[in-house]
Structure 1
Amino acid sequence: MGHCGGQHLERPSVLSRLGWCESYGYEGPAVPAWTKPLTVPDSKTPACLKMGADRLIARREVYLREKTLWRMLYETAGRAEEILGVNIEALDLAARGPETGWDVHEYRHSALTHLGEQGASLLMLMAKSRHKKPENVRR
């Protein structure tokens, strides 16, 4: 499943189970009244396949500086302005991205999506993405 921090998806299941327990006379743990479901923000940024990113970076006809940029975007899940702000003279700062058909934000989003699919915690994803609110971590 391509979501991260799935606790917002589990809440209805837990409440359903508690309702079933109550209707059949079983005692279950109480869910605090103040709990509420988290809204899932819409993400328009698609995640690239990890294999696609690896193949793209492995292409021989691609210059090293582009490969470096792509790898940094993917591995760090950094924002384009963060990565391109790094003082490395060989990076193409004017173009602000590679000619791959993928937007630089898609690399960031892909890295976070793959970490989530591998079971990274919401806290880890927030730290990696530098989001301050859990609802801003997409998928």
Structure 2
Amino acid sequence: MEFGQVDGLGLQTFWKMLYESAARADEVLCLNVEDLYPQDKRGRITARAGRSSGFTGSPAPAQLLPRLIARRTRGPLFLTDRKAPAGTPALDVCSETGRTRLSYRRAEEIFEENTRLLANPLASPEDIEDLNGWTLHRLRHSALTHDAEGGTSTPTLLARSRHASVRSLERSARPGVDAVARHVAERDPAARRKR
């Protein structure tokens, strides 16, 4: 895979963290090193409307974070390989490396480019330039859908996604036909009597 101006470890960690936390991409991209508590697999994000909120990650990103952070103690978590151009806000520059924070636009471009064949499994690699990949928003929705299909309760999905209402969650977590059929089959009284 071609990562352009972002290292592979940074992207791998970002994608895993985004999926496994079900956080919004812009919230994860705004994380700073000092917002993380890797030993607890937790972090503090600034959600919409400026509210501070916590998220719980999983072992995969937590294992990658020490390598990504290296010896940095502060500054943006996800960085490009480029030095920050003059005029970049200090908040978006790592004071220890001089590199700039990964932007949503660039993160979206890279994810879309790298998922073109996954999103189009019947296409040939020669057609890759004409294909569309997935979006970061879809990655978040897939995490919530997989949780819903796995039986996660609505209150837990709401807390995990930080959606304000069930109505907005409905647009994110859409279990597929197979998941609904499995749910119905598991609750079939006739099947339970046979056990």
State the TM-score, normalized to the length of structure 1.
Answer: 0.51
Contact 1:69 1:91 in 2 (8 A): no
Name 1:18's counterpart in structure 2. none
Contact 2:19 2:139 in 1 (8 A): yes
The structure, 1 or 2, with the larger RCO (C-alpha pairs under 8 Å, 6+ apart) is 1
Give distance in 2, aligned partners of 1:105 and 1:125: 16
Amino acid at match of 2:16: R
Name 2:22's counterpart in structure 1. 77
Q: By how many angstroms is 1:90 displaced?
A: 4.1
Give distance in 2, aligned partners of 1:104 and 1:86: 16
Supply the RMSD in Å over aligned alpha carbons: 2.0
The alpha-carbon distance between structure 1 residues 119 and 69, as it changes in their structure 2 partners (threshold 3 A), is same
Which has a greater percent of strand?
Answer: 2
Give distance in 2, aligned partners of 1:131 and 1:90: 24
Q: By how many angstroms is 1:106 displaced?
A: 1.0
Task: List gaps (5 residues or longer) in structure 1.
Answer: 1-55, 57-61
Name 1:22's counterpart in structure 2. none
Amino acid at match of 1:134: V
Task: List gaps (5 residues or longer) in structure 2.
Answer: 2-6, 33-75, 81-101, 115-132, 175-195
Aligned: 1:137 with 2:169 = yes
Q: By how many angstroms is 1:91 displaced?
A: 3.4
Q: How many residues get paired?
A: 79
The alpha-carbon distance between structure 1 residues 108 and 63, as it changes in their structure 2 partners (threshold 3 A), is same
Runs of 4+ with deviation above 2 angstroms: 88-92, 96-101
State the TM-score, normalized to the length of structure 2.
Answer: 0.37
Percent of matched pairs sharing the same residue: 44
Name 2:135's counterpart in structure 1. 103
Give distance in 1, aligned partners of 2:161 and 2:24: 8
Which has a greater percent of helix?
Answer: 2
